[in-house]
């Protein structure tokens, strides 16, 4: 009976070692995945920041262009009004 208890203890110990090895491997995989996702997140944050800057620049250029176009049209209206008054 004592021999069987020792064998049972050895089997439990072997199973515990195997389980620990599997858990260690699983933990390593999860850590690798987490590190990879963290790198992707940082890259995406940089991309978002760059795209936001480019969008801001494009909006500013559009506003400036729109103002210039409006000024040209207003000038043309005044020119036409002056021509009309001169007639």
Residues 6+ apart with CB under 8 A from 87: none
pLDDT in tens, 41-51: 999 999 999 99
Length reported for the chain = 87
pLDDT of residue 87 exceeding 90, the answer is no
- Paired tokens of 17: 């070692």
pLDDT in tens, 45-81: 999 999 999 999 999 999 998 999 999 999 999 999 9
4-14 burial, b at 16+ Cβ within 10 Å, e below that, comes to: eeeeeeeeeee
> CA-CA distance, 49 to 60, in Å (whole number)?
17
pTM (two decimals)? 0.61
Compute the average pLDDT of residues 33-46. Answer: 98
């Amino acid at each position: 009976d004592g021999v069987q208890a020792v064998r049972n203890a050895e089997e439990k110990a072997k199973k515990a070692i195997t389980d620990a090895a599997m858990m260690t491997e699983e933990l390593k995989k999860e850590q690798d995945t987490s590190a990879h996702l963290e790198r992707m997140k940082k890259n995406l944050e940089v991309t978002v920041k760059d795209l936001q800057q480019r969008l801001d620049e494009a909006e500013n250029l559009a506003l400036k262009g729109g103002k210039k176009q409006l000024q040209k049209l207003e000038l043309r209206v005044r020119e036409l009004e002056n021509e009309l008054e001169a007639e």
